[in-house]
Amino acid sequence: MIRVTENLRKIRDLLAKAAVDAGREADSVRLVAVSKKQPLSSVLEAAAAGQRDFGENQAIEGIEKINAVADDALIWHFIGHLQTNKTRVVAEHFHWVHSVDRLKTATRLSQQRPKTLGDLNICLQVNVDAEESKSGAPIDAVRDLARRVVDLPGLRLRGLMCLPAIRHEFAAQRIPFARLRRLAEELRADGIATDTLSMGMSDDFRAAIFEGATIVRVGTAIFGPRNRL
Ligand SMILES: *Cc1c(COP(=O)(O)O)cnc(C)c1O
């Protein structure tokens, strides 16, 4: 039995504690509950416990959930690799996309975002560890990408996102998150002010919060192992 309500309360306490320990406001970190490959019942339980932000990494699975839950108070974050043929459905259903790593994807989202829905919130995903197998823009391509994305209509560039290689030590976990924070500072120096650092998951959110995460994306620590469907 996975106790979603209890897990959520624990995670919220840990986020607040990490923020305070890092010298930040207790409520300065937004929790995205990553519900990918979790049953609808878990999403409903989390929503009933007051959780508002949910993350999905596959377009079709995500949209099925969005439609099934049909709760306008919820905010849906697309966090997975975005294929070109899925940009339209994502632009039509989600409130945030955290995983934009190419101008082509951003341009399509810009063109396909329905005007009635307002701006789509965008984070640029950065391949902070320069891993061959990972999505994300290379670090040295981010400034140019940001300069182009910031001008696209229908989108609002909110910040940067990363999914670093797994590290187990707290000090080591901070390194890639610090890299993302510095990159956001460079953007700011270029005149591109953003308000979001989307970084940290179940096993490393404390390190991310110490480096300034404003959004953490937590799945298993809330919902338990995936694929229990
Ligand atoms: C699955 C996923 C998460 C959540 O990972 P957990 O380890 O289950 O907390 C966060 N971010 C992204 C991009 C993911 O794909």
Would 229 be classed as within a structural domain?
no
Q: Which domain holds residue 94?
A: 4-223
181-186: which pairs have CB atoms within 8 A and are 24 or more residues apart? 181/211, 181/212, 183/126, 183/139, 183/142, 184/159, 184/160, 186/143
- Does any ligand 1 atom lie closer than 6 A to the CB of residue 79? yes
Q: Is the pLDDT of residue 229 over 60?
A: no
| Residue 10, C-beta contacts closer than 8 angstroms, at least 6 positions apart | none
Pocket test for ligand 1, best of 30, 216, 217 (most atoms within 8 A of CB): 217
Of 57, 128, 177, 216, which is best to mutate to test ligand 1, by the most ligand atoms within 8 angstroms of its C-beta? Answer: 57
Quote the ligand 1 centre to 216 CA distance (angstroms).
Answer: 9
Query: Is residue 206 pLDDT above 60, yes or no?
Result: yes
pLDDT digits (tens, 9 = 90+) for 39-82: 999 999 999 999 999 999 999 999 999 999 999 999 999 999 99
| Per-residue pLDDT reduced to its tens digit, 94-113 | 999 999 999 999 999 999 99
CA of 218 to the centre of ligand 1 (A): 6
Residue 71 forms part of a structural domain = yes
Picking from 229, 216, 159, 165, the residue whose alpha carbon sits closest to that of residue 8 is: 216
Residue 14 lies in a domain: yes
pLDDT value of position 227: 82
Report if residue 70 sits inside a domain.
yes
Rounded to the nearest angstrom, the distance between the alpha carbon of 98 and the centre of ligand 1 is 12
Pocket test for ligand 1, best of 34, 61, 166 (most atoms within 8 A of CB): 34
Residue 203 covered by a domain:
yes
- The band of 228, judged by pLDDT with boundaries at 50, 70 and 90, is low
CATH number for the domain harbouring residue 40: 3.20.20.10
Torsion of CA 109, 90, 48, 196, to 10 degrees: -30
pLDDT digits over 130-186, tens only?
999 999 999 999 999 999 999 999 999 999 999 999 999 999 999 999 999 999 999
- Position in ligand 1 atom list of the atom nearest CA 223: 8
Helix axes 40-48, 4-21, angle to 10 degrees: 60
- Is residue 42 assigned to a domain? yes
213 within ligand 1 shell (Cβ under 6 A)? no
Residue 228 lies in a domain: no
Whether residue 3 has pLDDT greater than 90: yes
Decide: 31 in ligand 1 pocket, CB within 6 A. Answer: no
In whole numbers, what is the pLDDT of the chain averaged over residues? 97
6-33: per-residue pLDDT in tens? 999 999 999 999 999 999 999 999 999 9
Number of domains composing the chain: 1
Indicate whether residue 57 lines ligand 1 (CB < 6 A): yes
